[in-house]
């Protein structure tokens, strides 16, 4: 088993593809068959496996969540860091904070159009910490 911490810079609310980062960790591990587990250490960011071919998918996902959990919603009491504070927590709760991906023949077992993303839920840039564990 090998474990590595990654720091992923974000530019604000958006999906940041991390497939390449995970591939580098996997390659360094030497694992041929096993599992790659990714965990994000934040309550206002999440992880997602999604299409990586058409960027309109990302824009549609963002519009959907913006409609579902709007910034500044008066329903929310918690707004210590601004109008996107509590919505970012809800968005993270509705998505995922960890993923497990099979490793086959030394590669992430993703589908043809799949990529792995860190989804920044806050508007301002952050440095997000991920733990990647490769289990053989």
| CATH for the stretch 2-135 | 2.60.120.460
Cα Dmax for the chain:
50
In the chain, what are the domain boundaries?
2-135
Q: Which two tokens stand for residue 80?
A: 């210590």
The Cα-based distances of 116 to 49, 74, 103 in angstroms read: 5, 33, 14
Q: What is the mean pLDDT of residues 55-60?
A: 95
Q: What's the average model confidence in pLDDT over 92-114?
A: 97
- Please provide the average confidence, as pLDDT, over all residues in the chain: 97
* Average pLDDT for 62-82: 95
**Residue range 98-104: average pLDDT?**
98
Q: How many CB atoms lie within 10 A of CB 103?
A: 19
Question: What pLDDT sits at residue 14?
Answer: 96
Residue 15, SS3 per DSSP: strand
Non-local (6+) Cβ contacts of 127 within 8 A are: 7, 8, 9, 10
Concatenating the DSSP letter of every residue in 70-134 gives -TT-TT----TT-TTHHHHHHHHHHSBSEEEEEEETTEE---TTEEEEEEE-SSS-EEEEEEEEE
């Amino acid at each position: 088993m090998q474990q590595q911490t990654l720091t992923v810079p974000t530019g604000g609310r958006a999906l940041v593809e991390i497939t390449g980062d995970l591939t580098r960790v996997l390659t360094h591990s030497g694992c041929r068959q096993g599992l790659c587990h990714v965990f994000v250490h934040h309550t206002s960011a999440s992880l997602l496996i999604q299409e990586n071919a058409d960027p309109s998918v990302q824009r549609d996902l963002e519009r959907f969540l913006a409609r579902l959990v709007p910034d500044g919603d008066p329903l929310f009491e918690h707004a210590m860091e601004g109008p996107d504070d509590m919505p970012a927590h809800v968005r993270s709760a509705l998505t995922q904070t960890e993923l497990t991906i099979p490793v086959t023949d030394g590669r992430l077992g993703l589908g043809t159009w799949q990529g792995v993303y860190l989804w920044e839920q806050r508007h301002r840039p952050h440095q997000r910490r991920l733990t990647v564990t490769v289990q053989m």
